[in-house]
Structure 1
Amino acid sequence: MSYNFFDLTGQVAVVTGASRGLGQYFSRALGRAGAKLIITSRKAGDCDLFLQELSDLGIEAKALTLNVREKDSISAFASAAEAAYGKIDILVNNAGCNIRKPAFEVTWEDWNTILDTNLRGPFFVAQAIAQNMAQRGYGRIINIGSVTSVFGYSGLSPYGASRGGIRQLTMSLADDWGKYGITVNVLAPGWFRTEQNKVMYEDETWVEYLKERIPLNRPGKPDDLDGAIVFLASEASRYMTGQILLVDGGITVGRTRATVNK
């Protein structure tokens, strides 16, 4: 008898920051694999159109508000999420932000906005949701990182610090919560076009510069992440925890010519 290790039927997945961008792609992929969804946005109603799209796809989903920068919002969300379906099996910590500036121009407020959203928020969301998982002895937590979790880039100092922090946080949580049957991993996309960075992809010269550094010779497309998110959420990754899964077209190999072109 064959067994589909990627089947999420009967499981409940939370995806934070699903009002736009990669959060919506993660949601579709998990829903198509069979999961029921709880999707979040900072403002009520921001996910209404996406909820309708999911319904049209035959995916059951509910939307809740969550501001990962506010402690009370996280507490209220965790209670509402657990009540929605009675359990949570999968958490995708996707909500995040970025402010691109040269290091000399980064303000105190810029730093706090990015680190509070991208690092402090995911920790306390995971802490709140993992309480339920620990009681049931099962859970999958997927923190969304970035190629900046392992590489440094000018203009992204606080963002890189937050994503590097996510990698270290993930390893610590994996050690803390493994005894409860909870796995904690990082999904780290490479260079993907999103709402946050779309202006860069309108510069053809920059896109060509980027492609030269990617062995697969193109930036990522959002659906390139579908298989990876389902893998980390499913039984297929049951003996994997504390790891970072880079989906980057190979840019982190550090592509450099080692021979002279003739």
Structure 2
Amino acid sequence: MSILNGINLFDLKDKVVLVTGAGNGLGKGYSRVFAESGCKVACADINKEASEKTSADIIAEGGIAKSFVVDVTNIESINTLIEEIVKEFGKIDILVNNAGIEIAEPFFDVTPEHFDKINSVNIRGVYFVSQAVAKLMKKNGGGKIINIGSLGSYIGLAESSVYCSTKGAVIQLSKTIALELANDNIQVNCIAPGYFITPMTQPFYDDPKHRAWIEDRIPMSRWGTVADLAGPMLFLASSASNYITGQTVIVDGGWLAS
């Protein structure tokens, strides 16, 4: 008897995926990867024009997508988003908590306002978007939640004290809610990317000294691309990872191994 019984473990056709922070950078890349895999993509971002551009690009490439506006720091905005997605697509099978911000500044320069802003997006947003979507997934028999960590989840980075704190919290949050949602057939995992060229990291890439410092620490000697994240993302979103929860996949070209 076949172990797989003809099942394609990586089949995501017609799954509905919500990607927050889908307007730019890796979020836009994740959205396109899911669309290319046959998903219906809810592209959510606080920037209306950016999310519309992502969904338009997907549609132009033959995919299915719709743009939505959300402020992940606002509970009412989150609840409205879920209602609109259900009205459009009927369900949410996969959630990618990608929305995040960074304000790089020395420890002594961090203000309470900046501290609260970063925490509100990077951890509070992840928490309450997950909570809202998990309630829907539980009713529908299960789902996948994929949170986005960082190298900063594991190591300290100068002038990123608040950002690194929130990304460390994302790892712990993923573990704890994975335990609580396990019996609801909801798997919760994390991806921790290393250095990828995004609007957030572009200043580091453009600074020759900082770029050299980064590349000298990557055993593979290059920055990552969205294609490098596609495999881990699709794996954690598919039935291939049904017995994996509370884990983090590090995609960093070998940085942490060294």
When the two structures are superposed, what TM-score results if normalisation uses the length of structure 2? 0.95
Is the counterpart of residue 122 in structure 1 residue 126 in structure 2?
Answer: yes
Separation of aligned partners in 2, 1:213 and 1:43: 34
SS across alignment from 2:104: coil
Summarize deviations over 1:158-210 as a string: whole Å, max 9, x none: 00010000000000110010100000001110011110120111122322221
Summarize deviations over 1:87-116 as a string: whole Å, max 9, x none: 110000001100000111111011000000
Name the residue aligned to 1:6.
10
Which amino acid counterpart does residue 106 of structure 2 have in structure 1?
Answer: P
Separation of aligned partners in 1, 2:250 and 2:227: 14
Separation of aligned partners in 1, 2:47 and 2:96: 19
Name the residue aligned to 1:42.
46
Q: How big is the shift at 1:2?
A: 4.7
Separation of aligned partners in 2, 1:205 and 1:159: 22
Separation of aligned partners in 1, 2:50 and 2:29: 16
Separation of aligned partners in 1, 2:196 and 2:75: 30
1:137-156 mapped onto 2 (5 Å cutoff): 137-156=141-160
8 Å Cα contact 1:114/1:158 also seen in 2: yes
Is the counterpart of residue 66 in structure 1 residue 70 in structure 2?
Answer: yes
Is the counterpart of residue 92 in structure 1 residue 96 in structure 2?
Answer: yes
Name the residue aligned to 2:116.
112
Is the counterpart of residue 51 in structure 1 residue 28 in structure 2?
Answer: no
Name the residue aligned to 1:210.
214
> Which stretch of structure 1 is more off in the superposition, 57-66 or 75-84?
75-84
Unaligned runs of 5+ in 2: none
8 Å Cα contact 1:19/1:50 also seen in 2: yes
1:164-203 mapped onto 2 (5 Å cutoff): 164-203=168-207
Aligned to 1:80, which of 65, 81, 84?
Answer: 84
Which amino acid counterpart does residue 14 of structure 2 have in structure 1?
Answer: G
Which amino acid counterpart does residue 130 of structure 1 have in structure 2?
Answer: A
Aligned to 1:27, which of 31, 38, 45?
Answer: 31
Name the residue aligned to 1:246.
250
Which amino acid counterpart does residue 252 of structure 1 have in structure 2?
Answer: L
Summarize deviations over 1:12-55 as a string: whole Å, max 9, x none: 00001111110011011111111111011114333222222101
When the two structures are superposed, what TM-score results if normalisation uses the length of structure 1? 0.94
8 Å Cα contact 1:144/1:186 also seen in 2: yes
SS across alignment from 1:187: strand
The alignment's C-alpha RMSD in Å is: 1.2
Q: How big is the shift at 1:157?
A: 0.5
8 Å Cα contact 2:23/2:47 also seen in 1: no
Off by >6 Å, runs of 4+ in structure 1: none
Separation of aligned partners in 2, 1:53 and 1:154: 36
